[in-house]
Amino acid sequence: MEFKGYKIEELQAGLFAICDEKTDAMYLIVGEQKALLIDTGTMKPDIMPMLRTLTDKPIELALTHAHIDHMYHAGEFNTVYLHKNDIAAWKKGVLQILMLAGFAMFHVPAKRFQVSGYIPVSEETKIDLGGVQVRVVDAPGHTPGSCVYVCDALQTVFMGDAVGSGGPTAWLWLPGSLHIGAYRDHLKQLQEKLEPFASYRFLGGHSMIDFVPEDMPDFVPLSLKTVKDMYTLCEKMLSGSIEPKTKQKQALMTVWQYAYGTAGMWVTKRKIRE
pLDDT tens digit sequence for 75-119: 999 999 999 999 999 999 999 999 999 999 999 999 999 999 999
pLDDT of 34: 98
pLDDT exceeds cutoff 80 at 219: no
pTM of the model as a whole: 0.95
Host domain of residue 185: 2-209+219-271
Selection from 255, 167, 258 nearest residue 207 by Cα: 167
CATH number at residue 182: 3.60.15.10
Cα–Cα distance for residue pair 158/150, rounded to 1 Å: 6
Number of domains forming the structure of the chain: 1
pLDDT of residue 165: 86
| 212: confidence class by pLDDT, cuts 50, 70, 90 | very low
From 46-55, 168-177, 178-187, the region with the lowest mean pLDDT = 168-177
Secondary structure element (H or E) that encloses residue 249, with its range? strand 246-250
Say what the pLDDT of residue 1 is: 75
Whether residue 214 lies inside any domain: the answer is no
CA 37 to chain centre: 13
108 in a structural domain: yes
Quick one: average pLDDT of 50-70? 98
Instruction: Work out the percent of the chain whose per-residue pLDDT is above 90.
Output: 88
